[in-house]
Amino acid sequence: MSLVNFTAREITCKIVYYGPGRSGKTTNLQYVYGRVPEARRGRMVSLATQTDRTLFFDFLPLELGTISGFTTKFQLYTVPGQSYYNATRKLVLQGADGVVFVADSQARRFDDNLESLQNLQDNLLAQAVDVRQLPVVFQYNKQDLPRDLILNREEMDDALNFRDVPSFSADALHGSGVFETLKGVSELVLKRLAAGTAVA
Amino acid sequence: MRALEPWVAAPLQTFINESAARLILLMTTSGQVVAQHGFSRSVEVMTAAALGAAIVASTEELSRTMAAPRFGAVVHNGSRQSCMLSAFATPRGRWIGLVVFGSETSVGLVQLFFDQMVEELVMVAPKEQAPAPMLAENFEDELNTSLKELFGR
Amino acid sequence: MAGTAPMIAADELLERVTQVPGVRGSLLISAIDGLVVAERLMDGIDGRAVAALVASLMQRLGRATTAAGLEPPNFVHLKGGSGSVLAAPGRDDVVLVAVVTPDANLGRARLDMLDVVGRLT
């Protein structure tokens, strides 16, 4: 749930990058971390296994700037994508103000995307969060791969984006689409906050 | 010391004075900072809050797995400084306290004054929820400008 | 269970102290952590608070006596308006504490407490 400090005029929101294993969630945060001036971000914390797979979460605190007179801070989290880490995903998802679903555009990962999206919905329902009310955007990552290996944005939308929420093509490794995705989810989260109907 | 809402400040200040704790952070269970004392950079506070909330969430999950009652507090005993994490209910939802303390005090004193602070917080907490901020109609333009500046575009 | 025997022993030793006329309760506390190790207390005594505050007091008194060029105290009598707190430091940073009424047999309480801390291993 977003927190607002009226005395210090600060807004803090929690954004969770969700999606199947190896879809590029951590890569998104690493790119953001690399591009943002040090004064505007904290240390990126990665609780990972020895093989650099996310074990608990990655975390990156960001100061977005001043919006309507409020210093706006975002906390970016990723969840571990592998299916057996569901208990951890639930914990990280708790209190999220917005979700970026990072899907792997490779055709062979089609089922993994669907399974992860279903898992997101299940976990939100278990936390009594109305999926339709939560700001969600899709990012179709790895769109830089050869065309015969991937589904394009329209095909990905058809497969995953039933609610017609904002979606973005991306190549997170090289940064394409990362900024647009963050902007997309930020807009939705702040609109929701301004409407005064917190999610959780 | 910084607190999200003014009513948190007095109980927190009393705790700081009595317990001789070096750092304290109050946060929600989802890792959002409610109040802090002793941290220098706000982004470091957010990192500490994220990690603290994760530890509490993990131990609560662990206790559920063992069909045991929730752990009252988690204490990490260090050679130079120690740290205590404890979750508690408030009218504003469940919060977590993270306290870092040194040899000038003890875990017993920290726990004692922490519990007193919790009682006081529960007593003085307003029943109504905090209002949502009024964002200007053109906040999306401001967001765009801020993000462009952030990414150097 | 490996830890059971010493706890029973501690309990028995505390029982001996609480049998002294006027003793309302006794505790073994850790001087470093300020936590209760074992306790036998009457209702109305907050053992946790006593442990935390007496441990803090003993540390400060230790520092004060050291600064004055003296040995740390081996017995402390803190006299209050409606009774006293007695404390006897033992080995391994354990302190035996007793809460007593104004008419308690302080001499016997002191002797028993010093004997008990000497027996603690």
Rounded average pLDDT over A148-160 = 96
CB contact under 8 A, C48 and B112: yes
Read off φ and ψ for residue A18, nearest 5 degrees: -115, 165
Question: Across residues B20-42, what is the average pLDDT?
Answer: 88
Judged by CB atoms closer than 8 Å, whether chains meet at A62 and B150 is answered as: yes
Whether residue A143 has pLDDT greater than 50 = yes
Question: Which residues of chain B are within 8 Å of residue A195 when distances are taken between CB atoms?
Answer: 132
CA distance B93 to B28: 8
pLDDT (average), residues A143-170: 96
What is the pLDDT at residue C1? 44
pLDDT over 50 at A198, yes or no: no
> Is there a contact between B144 and A4 if contact means CB atoms under 8 Å apart?
no
Neighbours of chain C (3+ CB pairs under 8 A): B
Predicted confidence (pLDDT) per residue in B63-93, tens digit:
888 888 888 899 999 989 999 999 999 988 8
Identify all chain A residues contacting B92, using CB atoms and an 8 Å cutoff.
Answer: none
Judge whether C55 is closer than 8 Å to chain B, CB to CB: yes
C48 touches chain B (CB under 8 A): yes
**CB-based contact C33 B111, cutoff 8 Å:** no
Is residue C62 less than 8 Å (CB to CB) from chain B?
no
What is residue A81's predicted lDDT score, i.e. its pLDDT? Answer: 84
Cβ neighbours for C12, distance < 8 A, ≥ 6 positions apart: none
Q: Which residues pair with B28 in a beta bridge?
A: B95
A and C interact (at least 3 Cβ pairs within 8 A): no
- At A196 the pLDDT is 66
More confident residue, C94 or C92: C94
CA distance B13 to chain C (A): 19
Task: For residue C53, give the chain B residue with the closest CA.
Answer: B109
Q: Is B47 an 8 Å CB contact of chain A?
A: yes
Q: Is B81 on the interface with C (CB under 8 A)?
A: no
Q: Cα(A195)–Cα(A197) distance, rounded to whole angstroms?
A: 6
pLDDT tens profile C32-76: 999 999 999 998 999 999 999 999 999 999 999 999 999 999 999
Cα torsion angle, A161, A165, A170, A173, sign: negative
User: From CA A194, how far away is CA B109, in angstroms rounded?
Assistant: 42
Helices C106-119 and C4-18, axial angle in degrees (round to 10): 170
Cα separation, A19 vs A81, whole angstroms: 6
The predicted structure's pLDDT at residue A5 = 67
CB-based contact, B27 to chain A, within 8 Å: no
Flag if B50 and A47 touch (Cβ within 8 Å). Answer: no
Answer for the pair A120, A92: CB distance below 8 angstroms, yes or no.
no
Q: Do A91 and B149 touch (CB under 8 A)?
A: no
* CA pair distance A194, C3, nearest whole angstrom: 58
Does C85 touch chain B if contact means CB atoms closer than 8 Å?
no
Contacts of C81 (CB under 8 A, 6+ apart): none
- Judge whether A73 and A10 are in contact, CB under 8 Å: yes
Q: Render pLDDT for A75-133 as a digit per residue (tens, 0 to 9).
A: 999 999 887 788 889 989 988 999 999 999 999 999 999 999 999 999 999 999 988 88
B126 pLDDT exceeds 90?
no
Nearest CA in chain B to A193: B132
CA proximity to C115, closest of C8, C3, C12: C12
d(CA A94, CA C69): 57
Does residue B108 belong to the interface with chain A, where contact is any CB pair within 8 Å? no
Determine which of C28, C33, C50 to mutate to test the interface with B (most B C-beta atoms within 10 Å). Answer: C33
Q: Would you place residue B14 in the very low, low, confident or very high pLDDT band (cuts 50, 70, 90)? A: very high
**Could you give the percent of chain C with pLDDT greater than 90?**
81
**Tokens coding B143:** 């967001």
Q: Which residue has the tokens 């053992």?
A: C47
- pLDDT value at position B5? 81
- Interchain contact C49–B (C-beta under 8 A): yes
Chains B and A, touching by 3 or more CB pairs within 8 angstroms: yes
| Tokens read off for A55 | 């074990």
Considering only alpha carbons, which residue of chain C is nearest residue B101?
C33
The dihedrals phi and psi of A189, each to the nearest 5 degrees, come to -65, -45
pLDDT band at B43 (very low <50, low <70, confident <90, very high): low
What is the helix (H) or strand (E) element at residue C27, kind and residue range? strand C23-30
pLDDT tier at C6, thresholds 50, 70, 90 = low
CA distance C93 to chain B (A): 13
